[in-house]
Amino acid sequence: MREPPAVQRPVVIAGAGWAGLSAAVELSAHGVPVSLLESARQPGGRARSVQAGGLRIDNGQHLLVGACRSLLSLLERIQVDPRKALLRLPLTLRLLEPDGPGLYLRTPRWPSPLHLTGALAAARGLTPGERVRALRFGRKLSSLDIQRTDDISVLSLLQRETQPAAVIRKVWEPLCIAALNTFPEAASARIFVRVLQETFSGPRRHSDLLIPRQGLSALLPGPCVDYLKRHGARLETGQRVTGLSIQHGCIQGVSVRGRAIAASQVILATPHVISRRLVSRHADLQGLSTQLAGLDDAPVTTLYFQYTPQTSLPVPVLGLLNGLSQWVFDRAPCGQPGLMAVVISARGPHERWSQETLTAQVAAELAGQFPDWPAHRGSLLIREKRATFCSRVGIDTLRPTSRTPVDGLWLAGDYTATGLPATLEGAVRSGLESAQAVLACLRRDDGY
């Protein structure tokens, strides 16, 4: 084990979302003092639990896949057993449509990548010809390489690869919207291919679906805070970083509503909009500010419906085609029987609908698909307008790395150049990367 680098002042991390928390844990694990400043009253950022209508729910239903290697390692480090904390299911796509066969696809327990071949070859709801075309694309996936500057839309890629309309609509489009929060017409093929490669090219378990059994806060932010306390790190909530102090191209610290906090290493783990606001006031960071101005956001809407405890889905997660509702999660395996979470990703006219109209529309779609269900007893709508950055064509040319032109100032967050869409895994990886860059810097300064 290496000696921890000698550090006088704590590394300041602004933002205790999953990126900031993962950076803080990594630094603390290496004996580096950390001061984590979070503007909200609780850590977790865009992936946190909230108390509403007598229920402990998440600010949006989240889904992970087995390829989230950095996130799974972080859980182990903070002593959360992923086998207990996450419900693991072999990849199953069951999509219903009001007047059609829908889709049923399930990866068999075969070694990778045969499991994908097996799933596509046996998919129900596609004709034999459609299955063959889907298989061809599936086989080609691992060798596809789209450069940052040659990015095209997911739809263009699928058409170039002669994917039939039914395969696009039933297989690739739902996956694209779920993973990139962007429609295939606008979504980056480069990012989509990266997601598919990470999910399907590794061992079979990488394509498993992972659903948090407890709330998101109990999965990672809570145990991270416990870990940080045990390692002497300082977490202050309700502390909004309002400015950066920079002199001669080096970071000097941050300010929190007029209070100056000196630091020679600062990780900005705030959302891109806030990071941009903070860097835009400094001449050294104008290029970065312009780059960040090119990022825009997409919403995710979640509706929770409480039914009688006996009400259930045939599988824990189910897709709906041709309607507003995209995915329905049965919360029963997570200890909340009768609670359904309906997810609507990406932009759409529903953003302008009133709560009553939106709730009535989704409730009607559920009633149409599940006529045996009783009327729901209560519902809750959560609109996250800035859920994720928009993974549109060419976006990777704008995503900054963790390094900034200012010495000692680093960036972390799902929007940085991870190659992934806005995901928990992307956030955790970026946090780790920024912490590792700080560690390398501290060791170098230390002559270590």
Ligand X SMILES: Cc1cc2nc3c(=O)[nH]c(=O)nc-3n(C[C@H](O)[C@H](O)[C@H](O)COP(=O)(O)OP(=O)(O)OC[C@H]3O[C@@H](n4cnc5c(N)ncnc54)[C@H](O)[C@@H]3O)c2cc1C
Strands 317-320, 34-37: pairing kind: unpaired
Per DSSP bridges, beta strands 34-37 and 11-14 are: parallel
Query: Is residue 134 within 8 Å of residue 167, measured between CB atoms?
Result: yes
Distance of alpha carbon 446 from alpha carbon 65, whole angstroms: 39
State the nearest-atom distance from the C-beta of 151 to ligand X, in Å: 20
Evaluate whether 433 touches 268 at the Cβ level (below 8 Å): no
Q: What's the closest the beta carbon of residue 145 comes to ligand X, in angstroms?
A: 24
Between 10 and 20, name the residue whose CB sits nearer to ligand X. 20
Minimum CB distance to ligand X smaller for 168 or for 387: 387
Token pair of 257 as six digits: 């509503």
| Single-letter amino acid, residue 219 | L
Q: Closest approach of Cβ 64 to ligand X, in Å?
A: 6
Alpha-carbon gap, residue 438 to 443, rounded angstroms: 9
Tell me the HSE value of 283 on the side-chain side, using a 13 A CA sphere: 3
Nearer to ligand X, 189 or 254 (CB): 254
CB of 71 to ligand X, least distance (A): 8
Of 137 and 172, nearer to ligand X (C-beta) is 172
Query: Would you say 95 or 300 has its CB closer to ligand X?
Result: 300
How far is the C-alpha of 277 from the C-alpha of 297, rounded, in Å? Answer: 15
- Please classify residue 347 by burial: count the beta carbons closer than 10 Å to its beta carbon, then call 0-12 exposed, 13-18 middle and 19+ buried: middle
Asked if 178 and 327 count as a contact pair (C-beta separation under 8 A), the reply is: yes
Which lies closer to ligand X via its Cβ, residue 152 or residue 417? 417
- Alpha-carbon gap, residue 353 to 107, rounded angstroms: 38
- Residues of this chain that interact with ligand X (CB under 6 A) are 14-20, 37-40, 45-47, 59-60, 62-64, 240-241, 269-271, 274, 300, 302, 384, 387-388, 413-414, 422-425, 427
Q: How far is the CB of 44 from ligand X (least distance, A)?
A: 6
Q: Which two tokens stand for residue 365?
A: 């779609």
Cis check for the bond before 113: say yes or no (omega within 30 of 0): yes
Beta carbon nearer to ligand X, 266 or 406: 266
H-run or E-run covering 370: none
Going by C-beta distance under 8 Å and a sequence separation of 6 or more, which residues neighbour residue 247? none
Q: Shortest gap between Cβ of 47 and ligand X (angstroms)?
A: 4
C-beta of 200 vs 373, nearer to ligand X: 200
In angstroms, the CA 145 to CA 154 distance is 13
Contact in structure between 255 and 242 (CB atoms under 8 Å):
yes
Q: CB 25 → ligand X: shortest distance, Å?
A: 13
**Minimum distance from CB of 128 to ligand X (Å)?**
33
CB-nearer residue toward ligand X: 138 or 426: 426
Cβ closest to ligand X, residue 22 vs residue 311:
22
Q: At 290, phi and psi to the nearest 5?
A: -65, -40
Q: How far is the CB of 175 from ligand X (least distance, A)?
A: 12
Element (H, E) at 135: helix 128-140
Counting beta carbons within 10 angstroms of the beta carbon of residue 366, is it exposed (0 to 12), middle (13 to 18) or buried (19 or more)? buried
Residues pairing with 13 in the sheet: 36, 267
* Residue number, 103 or 300, with CB nearest to ligand X: 300
Residue 76: CB minimum distance to ligand X, A: 18
Smallest gap, in angstroms, from Cβ of residue 424 to ligand X? Answer: 4
